[in-house]
Chain A
Amino acid sequence: MRGYLLWILCVLAACQRSQTADTVLAEESLPGADISAFGPPTLSSYGLFKGELKNLEPSNGVYPYEINSALFSDYAFKKRFIFMPSGMQMKYHKAETLDFPDGTILIKNFYYPADFRKPEQARRILETRLLILEKDSWKPLVYVWNVEQTEAHLEIAGRNLPVKWIHYDGGERSIQYAVPTLNQCKGCHLKGDKVAPIGPSARQLNRIAAVIGKNQLVHWKEDGILADLPDINSVPQLAAYDDETRDVASRARAWLEINCAHCHREDGPAKNSGLILTAEEKSMLPLGIGKAPVAAGKGSGDRNFDIVPGKPDESILLYRIESVDPGVMMPEVGRSIVHKEGVILVRKWIEGLAKTQ
Chain B
Amino acid sequence: MKSNFFLVASIILIGSCTSPNKPARVFRNIEHSLQTQLIAAHNGDTINLPEGNFMFTKSLIMDGKSNIVIRGMGMDRTVLSWKNQVEGAQGILVTNGRNIVLEDFAVEDAKGDNLKVSDTQGITLRRIRSEWTDGPRPENGAYALYPVLSTRVLMEECLAIGSSDAGIYVGQSDSVIIRNNKAYWNVAGIESENSKWVEIYGNEAYDNTGGILVFDLPGLTRYGHTTKVYKNNVHDNNHENFAHKGNIVASIPPGSGMMILATHTTDIYDNDIINNRSVGAAIISYELVAAINEGEETSDGALGGAQTVNNNYKSDSLYNAFPYDIHVHDNRFSNSHWFPSLDSDIGKLLLTKSFLNPPDVLYDGVSDASRPDRRICIQESDELTFINLDAGNDFKGFSKDVASFSCRK
In the assembled complex, the CB of A283 is this many whole angstroms from the nearest CB of chain B, namely 10
* A12 contact from B17, B141, B297, Cβ within 8 A: B17
Number of contacts between A and B (CB, 8 Å)? Answer: 217
B142 surroundings in chain A (CB, below 8 A):
295-299, 327
> Which segment, of B25-33, B259-267, B339-347, faces chain A?
B25-33
Q: Which of A8, A30, A291, A303 has the most CB of B within 10 A?
A: A30
* A160 contact from B40, B50, B57, B221, Cβ within 8 A: B57
Interface magnitude class on chain B? 35 or more
A302 surroundings in chain B (CB, below 8 A):
244-246
Q: Using A7-B6, A309-B303 as known contacts, say yes or no to A22 and B83 having CB atoms under 8 A apart.
A: yes
Tell me whether B13 and A15 are in contact (CB under 8 A).
yes
Q: Using A35-B40, A314-B302 as known contacts, say yes or no to A326 and B89 having CB atoms under 8 A apart.
A: yes
Tell me whether A186 and B88 are in contact (CB under 8 A).
no
> Which segment, of A103-111, A112-120, A176-184, A225-233, faces chain B?
A176-184
Interface residues of A in 275-307 (CB under 8 A from B): 285, 290-305
A234 adjacent to chain B (CB < 8 Å): no
B149 adjacent to chain A (CB < 8 Å): yes
Interface residues of B in 15-56 (CB under 8 A from A): 17-18, 21, 24-41, 50, 55
B89 surroundings in chain A (CB, below 8 A):
299, 326-327, 332
B87 surroundings in chain A (CB, below 8 A):
178, 326, 333, 336
A25 surroundings in chain B (CB, below 8 A):
26-29
Interface magnitude class on chain A? 35 or more
A222 adjacent to chain B (CB < 8 Å): no
A33 adjacent to chain B (CB < 8 Å): yes
Tell me whether B113 and A182 are in contact (CB under 8 A).
no
A274 adjacent to chain B (CB < 8 Å): yes
B14 surroundings in chain A (CB, below 8 A):
11, 14-15, 18
Closest chain A residue, CB of each to CB of B90: A332
Q: Which of B50, B87, B95, B172 has the most CB of A within 10 A?
A: B87
Q: Give the distance in Å from the alpha carbon of A332 to the alpha carbon of B303 in the complex.
A: 28
A210 adjacent to chain B (CB < 8 Å): no
Tell me whether A304 and B36 are in contact (CB under 8 A).
no
* B39 contact from A18, A181, A301, A325, Cβ within 8 A: A181
A136 adjacent to chain B (CB < 8 Å): no
B379 adjacent to chain A (CB < 8 Å): no
In the assembled complex, the CB of A72 is this many whole angstroms from the nearest CB of chain B, namely 15
Tell me whether B244 and A297 are in contact (CB under 8 A).
yes
In the assembled complex, the CB of A195 is this many whole angstroms from the nearest CB of chain B, namely 10
* A272 contact from B38, B110, B220, Cβ within 8 A: B220
Tell me whether B40 and A33 are in contact (CB under 8 A).
yes
Q: Give the distance in Å from the alpha carbon of A20 to the alpha carbon of B25 in the complex.
A: 9
A356 adjacent to chain B (CB < 8 Å): no
Interface residues of B in 293-351 (CB under 8 A from A): 293, 297, 302-303, 305, 308-309, 311-312, 315
B311 surroundings in chain A (CB, below 8 A):
290
Tell me whether A300 and B28 are in contact (CB under 8 A).
no
A158 adjacent to chain B (CB < 8 Å): yes
Q: Give the distance in Å from the alpha carbon of A285 to the alpha carbon of B312 in the complex.
A: 8
Q: A274-B220, A297-B143, A304-B302 are in contact. List 6 more A-B contacts (CB 8 A).
A: A18-B18, A24-B28, A37-B40, A294-B217, A295-B165, A297-B244
Could you give 6 example pairs across A and B, Cβ below 8 Å? A29-B30, A30-B34, A30-B37, A158-B58, A298-B244, A304-B305
The 8 closest A-B pairs by CB, nearest first: A297-B142, A327-B111, A183-B61, A33-B40, A300-B246, A15-B17, A157-B35, A290-B308
Q: Which residues of B contact A (CB under 8 A)?
A: 6, 10, 13-14, 17-18, 21, 24-41, 50, 55, 57-58, 61-64, 81, 83-89, 93, 95-96, 110-113, 118, 138-143, 148-149, 164-165, 171-172, 217, 219-221, 244-247, 293, 297, 302-303, 305, 308-309, 311-312, 315
